[in-house]
Amino acid sequence: MAKKLYVGGVNYDTTDDGLRSAFEQAGTVESATIIMDKMTGRSKGFGFVEMSSDEEADKAIEMFNDQEIDGRTVKVNEARPKKEWN
């Protein structure tokens, strides 16, 4: 089963493809998305990567948490469920 990871502190110039290619070093990437600001069209500095298995997700966390990607030190951990807004 796929596991979604939160990636924070991402370089504002990093693209979806750049994030995907970095995380492919840890295994099969189902999806990689940089979150963009709707008003400005710029990156918000974080994204989500979905790895194809729990083992690959754990390996990605171990490989990339507190490591540099595109010149910025990123934080990587398991994504929490989206909050419901009332």
Residue % of the chain over a pLDDT of 70: 98
> What is Dmax (Cα atoms) for the chain?
39
pLDDT digits (tens, 9 = 90+) for 24-64: 999 999 999 999 999 999 999 999 999 999 999 999 999 99
User: 86 in a domain, yes or no?
Assistant: no
Residue 85: pLDDT band by 50, 70, 90 thresholds?
low
User: 34 in a domain, yes or no?
Assistant: yes
What domain range includes position 47?
A: 3-78
Residue 1: pLDDT band by 50, 70, 90 thresholds?
confident
pLDDT attached to residue 86? 58
Answer left, alpha or beta for residue 78, where phi above 0 means left and psi between -120 and 50 means alpha: beta
User: 85 in a domain, yes or no?
Assistant: no
Work out the burial of residue 25: count CB atoms within 10 Å of its CB; fewer than 13 is exposed, 13-18 middle, 19 or more buried: exposed
